[in-house]
Structure 1
């Protein structure tokens, strides 16, 4: 069944660029049909330089009720909302905006809680485990705080920008009490390795970590959602690792985001 669009339909969007591998519009539209909601989700392909102009126009759309925000706008969008949840302020990024009836935009982020929920559903709980997180961008920041808050025994954050990794590690340690530091992207000796970078989306991308340094039994989580499985996960499987693709995290993100937007969403396993 396809969404029925009328003059009273509420509009939700996915904002980012590129959006060729995005799954959120299909997921949301399926949910809207199942719940009989008078709503539709559409992709808005907006380049970085055009974000300000887009927001100006979007503010004028009276039936715009919410947006999901993806790369490259998760941090830049902070300056365009009226209010942030504590998780978004902590992470310094957002990926969900609720457009309220009074015209105020409220932003939050679902990456961190979504990642941890997905890991828990798959039996890969980070509690009491040593974790290597590669990537300290918008998603990586949220995941770092969520993994630390979920009880990781220690957390090492690696990023091509060493200053960014250092700053994030210091913030996570101060706010959560988890033993957190920055370091190289060497997975040897870690019980959990999480790729929170875009590496793997393109054919010629480098590996986020050296698969030969992975130990059998290590839990390897790759948040990249295409191709499936990613080169990292294929290499990790060959090493005897336990692997998890971006699907469970995406479901966890959807649960948190859609409930924030006012929908009762219950993915399988939740």
Structure 2
């Protein structure tokens, strides 16, 4: 039997279990970070990947209510929106965004959902010295991560926002929800052309696989643009490589997780 890797938490009968719900789980980066925080905080808890097929997701999540040693989970692709109706309570942010990326199990088995993607993404930009207030932003996607990023950017006071998504009805829905909360924000629907914007963001999972198409027309990028990702693996997606070749400043997807992991640990009770 191989030796236990150095600094791996020792699992006991009292260990609290945390999960990361995804499909697949190969790309997930949070467990080592959360487990390191658990050690730093002397918390007897461990996070493990939970690869759940979409057709089994509802039944699996409901079964977690009965696991007395389960405290909560990070929720990622493709479940950030599917988790909403399975929660008994949602934070104001999760309800507004229409997606949750963390759940906590209460002592009575109820599940509480929250949304930390947006604030994590925004803090990552701020830490890198990328200002968003007053800027023109082009955002690809209208799923869970893109929704969270859009609301965080609106709250931070961007100048205008263009939404580009393959399913226009999802872009329409996101635009309507944004305007309900931020009625003065200039929000328009766009195509694959990011021209005329200062900050370009891929808020989709396109780029995780080598065979994925590019999320936008990279021939329209200019050196004055900053191009940011939410995809964490690979670290430099095809979009970021193309943007670097043009001379754009790029912002990696891992920064979003790095700046929300402490918030996630707090939410999960570590």
TM-score bracket for the superposition, by shorter chain length: over 0.9
Choose which of 64, 74, 84 in structure 1 pairs with 2:70.
64
Contact 1:132 1:156 in 2 (8 A): yes
Q: Which residue of 2 aligns with 1:21?
A: 27
> Which protein has greater RCO, CA pairs closer than 8 Å, 6+ apart?
2
Following superposition of structure 1 onto structure 2, how do residues 119-198 of structure 1 map, counting pairs within 5 Å? 119-176=125-182, 177-198=184-205
Contact 2:100 2:114 in 1 (8 A): yes
- The 1-side partners of 2:113 and 2:85 are apart by 10
**Paired residue secondary structure (2:83):** helix
**Paired residue secondary structure (1:90):** helix
**Paired residue secondary structure (1:51):** helix
Choose which of 245, 255, 266 in structure 1 pairs with 2:262.
255
- The 2-side partners of 1:42 and 1:68 are apart by 10
Choose which of 221, 225, 238 in structure 2 pairs with 1:231.
238
- The 2-side partners of 1:127 and 1:21 are apart by 32
- The 2-side partners of 1:38 and 1:257 are apart by 16
Deviation (angstroms), 1:196: 0.6
- Alignment pair present for 1:3 and 2:9: yes
- The 1-side partners of 2:24 and 2:68 are apart by 26
**Paired residue secondary structure (1:126):** coil
- Alignment pair present for 1:39 and 2:45: yes
Following superposition of structure 1 onto structure 2, how do residues 112-123 of structure 1 map, counting pairs within 5 Å? 112-123=118-129
- The 2-side partners of 1:31 and 1:21 are apart by 20
Deviation >6 Å, runs of 4+: none
Q: Which residue of 2 aligns with 1:204?
A: 211
Contact 1:87 1:108 in 2 (8 A): yes
- The 2-side partners of 1:77 and 1:125 are apart by 32
Q: How far does the alpha carbon of each residue in 1:36-80 deviate from its partner, in whole angstroms, 9 at most, with x for none?
A: 210000111101100122123211100111111112211111111
| Structure 1 segments unaligned to the other structure (5+ residues) | 264-270
**Paired residue secondary structure (1:27):** helix
- The 2-side partners of 1:42 and 1:201 are apart by 21
Choose which of 67, 71, 81 in structure 2 pairs with 1:75.
81
**Paired residue secondary structure (1:180):** strand
Q: Which residue of 2 aligns with 1:109?
A: 115
- The 2-side partners of 1:41 and 1:23 are apart by 11
| Structure 2 segments unaligned to the other structure (5+ residues) | 1-6
- The 2-side partners of 1:74 and 1:228 are apart by 21
- Alignment pair present for 1:219 and 2:211: no
Please, what TM-score do these two structures have when normalized by structure 2? 0.94
Deviation (angstroms), 1:156: 0.6
Paired residue total: 263
Contact 1:189 1:215 in 2 (8 A): no
